[in-house]
Structure 1
């Protein structure tokens, strides 16, 4: 089997896909922008061949790279990045070279917020009504229909990028100036008091869910980045049955195969949920590592098994919570790295500096810490985020 990994070097924790695929007997072929020497010996040893391009954004250059690898190694069985930024590139390459997986015409439902809403409704899952806006006239009509506050985000966009919360006329005018009708936006009512949570998992080659999990944020991502707040998100020990039922209905409606999925919801104060977005890939950052810690599993290995026609094997271990938590360089915290290690010992599974691309949103220093109870989760968050008291001197 020949498997092309797009951008095998970045993000660094995704390099494990190359390692596990190679261990499963796959010829892993990489296409990326980094010099070969930068890859490091471990990744170099996992790649059968690496083709460096000047710019992954240049589709014609990347097509030439795939054609070369096809000529040298034979038919390509998979092309994948597991990264939302390259989803459209992956799909175009699959179509060009007749490779298994999503093609461009299948991406519309997972790239456009307005199209997602249609499938959420088809799955009989609650949503908040939204409006597509292309002009300023449509913007004001949508605001009149929906009423402030609303969330404005690109209809085709990644994460919280270029997202605005419009609570006042001043906010609307500011958005209008920033937007300039340069792209299609999607507006929907702001959900007051909603807790951002997810239903995530992995699908086999027939589209069956073979792994599922869920995590909850301490604050919504928009507030997180705008206020430069402290981040904590928690892989849950168990999934709320109502959330699970909604998630499974959505997965069926989207009809994807051999892929990770990441579905975002708001949990309402009444205990119900509204669906927000379907992401046709893993959650970002170190979330896959947190899945592994919470479920005592190696999802990189399980994915490689599915791709090569094998089965998914559950670890059989009892799940734990896993808290992903960060500290920001801009703030002074009461407890430093050594204190965190001393406090949580073997429960601290992982710590790493956040890549600059994620630091503004999530923070600078990341920790993944397991817990057995909600009380332990609360203690972890309180301890890591506790800041030093500012002493005011009165003269």
Structure 2
């Protein structure tokens, strides 16, 4: 029997569906970490958990480490640590690294969470990407846009989906953007050239670096 800890910061409908799938796996005991009270979870799922642990901030590795350690004591060890939210992937990797739990590494998690870094990695491996650059000030952004040209796409480097993504048509739109979202070292913005075309997506499952 394998002990798995699932981290669900909030009991969102999508997260609950992922948790239900993990609970349905054969030969798996599931522990749960969340910042939501356990009574918010449907009763039919609560009864299938081996253990649970509540934290103040389930997106912070420093909060997750003692929670996972506590569940390991209750369950007799933890062999896997998983979660569905994209925003969780770096802190989960940090916890795995500290507690020596197998799984996605910090470097790999950062390579897809930081979209500027992701595009650089893809380009280095022969996959074409839109021209892009990370700006840490409004002046730096203006110089980048001089090269990219309008319209330009502005987004947070650690965004998920299309949240926080804007198409800036001209200099006036840029000024309005930086007024509402000041650019700084702590809050850099990724700028990309705007490309028109068909959009496609694909998913894959990898085991030991090989698609299955």
Matching of residue 199 in structure 1 with residue 206 in structure 2:
no
For 1:188, the equivalent position in structure 2 comes to: 192
Q: Give the superposition deviation at 1:132.
A: 1.4
CA deviation profile, 1:62-94 (whole Å, cap 9, x unmatched): 322111112222331111102202112211211
Structure with more contact order per residue of length (Cα contacts < 8 Å, sep ≥ 6): 2
What SS does the aligned partner of 2:191 have?
A: strand
- Which of 175, 178, 197 is the equivalent residue of 2:177? 175
Work out the CA distance in 2 between the residues paired with 1:196 and 1:16.
31
String of CA shifts for 1:12-43, please: whole Å, max 9, x gaps: 3213223222xx11111111123222222321
Q: Which secondary structure does the structure 2 equivalent of 1:37 belong to?
A: helix
Corresponding residue number in structure 1 for 2:7: 6
**Is 1:71–2:77 an aligned residue pair?**
no
Give 1:324's aligned residue.
none
Q: Is the 8 A contact 1:18 1:46 kept in 2?
A: no
TM-score, L = length of structure 1: 0.49
Equivalence map 1:140-179=2 (5 Å): 140-179=142-181
Contact 2:60 / 2:91 at 8 angstroms: preserved in 1? no
Counterparts in 2 of 1:85 and 1:58: CA distance versus 1, 3 Å: closer
Please show how residues 35-50 of structure 1 align to structure 2 within 5 Å: 35-50=37-52
Q: 2:102 is matched with which residue?
A: 100
Normalization by structure 2: what TM-score?
0.88
2:4–2:31 contact (8 Å) kept in structure 1: yes
1:134 aligns with 2:136: yes
Residue equivalent to 2:111? 109
- Give distance in 2, aligned partners of 1:58 and 1:126: 34
Question: Structure 1: how far apart are the matches of 2:120 and 2:63?
Answer: 36
Is the CA contact 1:18–1:43 (under 8 Å) kept in the aligned structure 2?
no
1:58 is displaced (CA, Å) by: 4.7
Is this contact kept in 1: 2:90–2:113, CA < 8 A? no
Alpha carbons of structure 1 residues 58 and 90: separation in structure 2 relative to 1, 3 Å: closer
Structure 2 runs not aligned, ≥5 long: none
C-alpha contact (below 8 Å) 1:81/1:87 kept by paired residues: yes
* Structure showing greater Rg: 1
How many residues of Structure 1 are paired with residues of Structure 2 in the alignment?
A: 206
Residue 20 (1) aligns with residue 27 (2): no
Runs ≥4 residues deviating over 4 A: none
Contact 2:113 2:159 in 1 (8 A): yes
Instruction: Describe the shift of the 1:130–1:168 C-alpha distance in structure 2 as closer, same or farther (beyond 3 A).
Output: same
SS at match of 1:125: coil
Residues 5 and 29, structure 1, Cα contact 8 Å, conserved in 2: yes
Write the distance in 1 (CA, Å) between the matches of 2:161 and 2:51: 32
Measured in 2, the distance between the counterparts of 1:53 and 1:38 equals: 15
Q: What is the CA deviation profile of residues 178-216 of structure 1, one whole-angstrom value per residue up to 9, with x for unaligned ones?
A: 221241111111112x23220112222x22222xxxxxx
Residue 123, structure 1, aligned to residue 121, structure 2? no
Equivalences for 1:1-395 in 2 at 5 Å?
A: 1-7=2-8, 9-10=11-12, 11-21=15-25, 24-182=26-184, 183-192=187-196, 194-204=197-207, 206-210=208-212
SS at match of 2:150: coil
Q: Distance in 2 between matches of 1:44 and 1:124?
A: 46
